[in-house]
Structure 1
Amino acid sequence: MANQPIAELFGFPPDSETERATRYRTNRLCPYNNKVPSCTKDSVTDPLGVCTIFHGEKLAVICPVRLRQDWIIAEQAAAFFFPPKANWTTLVEVRLKDKQGKSAGNIDVVLVAYDDEGRITDFGSLEVQTVYISGTLRKTFFKPLMDDRTAYFATDWAKSRKKNPGPDYLSSSRKRLAPQLIFKGGILKAWKRKQAVAVHSAFYDTLPKLPEVAQEKADLAWLIYDLVWDGHDKKYNLKHTRTVYTEFKTALDKITISEPGPMEDFVAALQIKLDAKLEGATLAQLADTSADIPADEPDLLDQLENL
């Protein structure tokens, strides 16, 4: 099992033969509060039912619905948004529009507080962020597993030369999380509504260190979770690890603005390129000027390779 990438399939370990795991796998159901009973990851008719993959000795949650287990995330977001004993509920996939009426995207979960007559008194947004993967999962692993479980588990995946897919945390934070915070979060911030983001701890650990504030000063809470093995149920269960309270603007700046390295290194890299060009180097030769860099300057080499 350790040499193949699938950690959870339709909510259960892929080798689980329990009656419940078999029923969910056979009917392609989702046990984690999807908007419909079936799994709809990537496709309604042919869902990619992989919730979580192995990444070395760790896990990487790749489906946002996985973090909805028992609606723990909603309960903890409500504790941040609303006073104790408030009446509240969840509304999922709520369209948000900007001043011009254009869509800023769907909010994963909107929590609304309401009075005894059912009128909304407050609301907050909850985004659920998991990681994209690089590499092929469906064709190389998921389909063979669903087609022939016996053959799949008999395969020595370490010798198969099939490359396991892996999490792409950088793309996930810059191409998904950051735009969500900018477009949707910016509107909610202007409305002075609190926000929360639910993430797997492995994802959060790849973000820059966010400046923390006291809960009463925060307008953005990071709800951080892990999957913990339950030996009795023979499956992973969601567990809240910690909550990080931040201010929206400072957290957004930290995520979206790259910390600069030494400018001197960049100028040195430019000088090497310029010297080569002035000496008549071709474009191909200019691309290979990294050969002129001494071996004790790895940071400069890295920058040249990206020019």
Structure 2
Amino acid sequence: MVNCRGCRSIFFPENTAWTSLAEIRLNDKKGQSAGNIDWVLVAYDSGGRIINFGTLEVQSVYISGNVRRPFEYYMEDPSQRFNMDWSGQRNSPRPDYLSSSRKRLAPQLIYKGGILKKWGKKQAVALHKGFYNTLPALPEVDPTEADVAWLIYNLQHDAARNCYQLTEFRKVYTLFKPALDRITTPEAGSMDDFCQFLQEKLDEKLENPPDAPTLTDLL
């Protein structure tokens, strides 16, 4: 589980009275919901009045494939199948990092993150190491200058208990807009390759290649 205590130092000075509130709705100027914030860390004074806050979003990953079949297979004989490898099976479950970044992470940064940035509030985003590694390299800044802290977690084996613990791997500090631009702006591939693909599709449609120069030749 992601520990909110690890975020306290990102938002507040030492010895600040604070607590965490879960699933807080965030509205835009028109009162329309921009979504729920997973955790809001609030600092308060001796009278219980809020003096500051920061947010923590926990980014999970979409799964492609079929999860039910391997689980049912495992449950038929857990003691013998605890170490099974289902990766070669049809529709084996696997993380869909691309959809997770384009359909979940980016929209949350744009809508919820955009409002928080407008308010001048710091944000933290917790995500798995494997997910973070699929993102483009984010331009890092000093923690004191950062708008966003990326809390990167990984599973670590606990030999004494013979189990895996979700453990913080590292923190990455960025500004809001440069990080958002890197995530939402894809790197352009070769236009020549795209033109060649268009030519092949056109040739198929016309059933024979043209004698005239191709688009690639003209460019």
TM range (shorter): 0.7 to 0.9
Corresponding residue for residue 206 of structure 1: 134
Q: What TM-score does the superposition give when structure 2 sets the normalisation length?
A: 0.86
> Is residue 99 from structure 1 mapped to residue 26 from structure 2 by the alignment?
no
Separation in 2, partners of 1:161, 1:272: 34
Q: Which runs of 5+ in 2 are unaligned?
A: 210-219
Residue of structure 2 aligned with 1:251, choices 176, 179, 183: 179
| Secondary structure of residue in 2 paired with 1:216 | coil
Distance 1:240 1:159, change over 3 A: closer
Corresponding residue for residue 124 of structure 2: 196
Distance 1:184 1:150, change over 3 A: closer
| Secondary structure of residue in 2 paired with 1:226 | strand
Residue of structure 2 aligned with 1:236, choices 145, 149, 164: 164
**Overall identity of the aligned pairs, in %:** 54
> Is residue 226 from structure 1 mapped to residue 154 from structure 2 by the alignment?
yes
Moved runs in structure 1, 4+ residues, more than 2 A? 141-146, 148-164, 262-277
| Secondary structure of residue in 2 paired with 1:249 | helix
Q: What TM-score does the superposition give when structure 1 sets the normalisation length?
A: 0.62
Q: Which runs of 5+ in 1 are unaligned?
A: 1-66, 287-307
Distance 1:162 1:111, change over 3 A: same
Separation in 2, partners of 1:127, 1:268: 42
| Secondary structure of residue in 1 paired with 2:56 | strand
Paired residue type of 2:112: K
| Secondary structure of residue in 1 paired with 2:144 | helix
Partners of 2:148 and 2:175 within 8 A in 1: yes
Q: Deviations over 1:248-270 (max 9, x none)?
A: 11111111111112323323333
Distance 1:238 1:273, change over 3 A: closer
Distance 1:151 1:113, change over 3 A: closer
Paired residue type of 2:11: F
Of residues 180-189 and 232-241 in structure 1, the stretch that sits farther from structure 2 once superposed is 232-241
Distance 1:112 1:261, change over 3 A: same
| Secondary structure of residue in 2 paired with 1:128 | strand
Superposed displacement of residue 76, structure 1: 2.1
